[in-house]
Amino acid sequence: MSEVLFTLLVINLLGMLSPGPDMIMVIRYGSTGAKRTTLCCILGIMTGFCAHLLLAVFGVSLLISQAPLLFTVVKYLGAGYLIYLGIKAWRSKSKSLDSSCKGPIKARYAYLEGLLCNLLNPKVLIFLVATFTQIVSPDTSTSSKLFFAATIAIEAIVVWALLMKFIYSGWLNNWLQKNQQRINKLSGGILVGLGSLIGIQMS
């Protein structure tokens, strides 16, 4: 059991350290200098990730991945949403530390964007399906699977907390804010590219 847990944690850590839509979104929010919106974005991402974990534990993700029509719908939604986020980032203007970045409406938008970015990302679905089906034995008890999922979620929280602390370290956050417009353009281009790549892979 300990070997399985260790393997799951290592694979999840490597997956999180690989740059993807979630990390791009967090860095983009971090460049605004508003900790509240960045934190809300991370909370949204973690909510989506925990939902994926529960789906994987109870085998729903495997059913979705094996249902061609349903999985295609998820992929199209994910690709479309990444492109939407990319265009939005590309068109956005630099914002300083004012009320527009720290208000409750902005915080709710950040949470929702983080949630949908992770929840509609088909690669997260595929990653967790592959991880649980290849590493966790089919006859493993549900309680053990839930323990694995909870441990992975805790690891993800720790990694995101460390990333946020790093983003808001003095010199880095100053650099991010000074280059916010460039970060918006770069992150927008990457998100549109990722969404387009998913769309091309489906065709």
- Cα gap 2→95, rounded to integer Å: 47
Query: Which amino acid appears at position 88 of this protein?
Result: K
Angle between helices 2-17 and 142-167 (to 10 degrees): 30
Report the Cα–Cα distance between both ends of the chain, in Å, rounded.
40
- Cα gap 107→101, rounded to integer Å: 8
- pLDDT, averaged across the chain: 79
Non-local (6+) Cβ contacts of 54 within 8 A are 149
Q: What is the pLDDT of residues 119-132, one digit of tens each?
A: 888 778 777 777 77
- Percent of residues in the chain assigned helix, strand, coil, to nearest 5: 85, 0, 15
Which is nearest to 143 in space by CA: 42, 30, 74, 57? 57
Non-local (6+) Cβ contacts of 60 within 8 A are none
Q: Cβ(57)–Cβ(132) under 8 Å?
A: yes
Q: What is the pLDDT of residues 134-169, one digit of tens each?
A: 777 767 888 888 999 999 999 999 999 998 888 887
pLDDT range class, residue 177, cuts 50, 70, 90:
confident
